[in-house]
Amino acid sequence: MTADPIADMLTRVRNALLARHPKVDIPASRLKNELARIFKEEGYILNYKLTEEGSKKFIRLYLKYTPSNLPVISRIERVSRPGCRVYVGSKEIPRILGGLGINILTTPKGVMTGSTARKEGVGGEVLCQIW
């Protein structure tokens, strides 16, 4: 059991991209499923699906590459950690690379991107940044 399952998920994705793997398996949870949904909606991965191997449930992410075999995700990093949580209000949500990247927040209305949270007028915990 890892102390920070979200950081574990992001590290698995980062390592799979560096090794040019077509897919990566991640132990499933509801929050990780929401992160995968946002990655797909924003175009950072091709697809994802829930799979089962015995009694274990996994989320299989199909990674996306450019025609020249470069990863679409150039950087993915954890912002809020178990030892140092980062909370922001709706007016303080940072823009990533002037809008080229996204940040993902957990809000009272669910998991959403920073731009969606700004439109909804809610703040929350900044989970990660991706560009």
Domain range summary for the chain, segments of one domain joined by +: 5-63, 76-130
Q: What SS3 class is residue 127?
A: strand
pLDDT digits (tens, 9 = 90+) for 70-94: 999 999 999 999 999 999 999 999 9
H helix or E strand, kind and range, residue 117: helix 114-120
Third-level CATH fold of 76-130: Dna Ligase; domain 1 (3.30.1490)
pLDDT digits (tens, 9 = 90+) for 111-126: 999 999 999 999 999 9
Residue 62: name the closest of 73, 54, 53, 52 by CA: 73
CA distance 105 to 122: 10
In this predicted structure, what is the pLDDT of residue 2?
Answer: 75
Q: Do domains 5-63 and 76-130 have the same CATH topology?
A: no
**What is the CATH number that goes with domain 5-63?**
3.30.1370.30
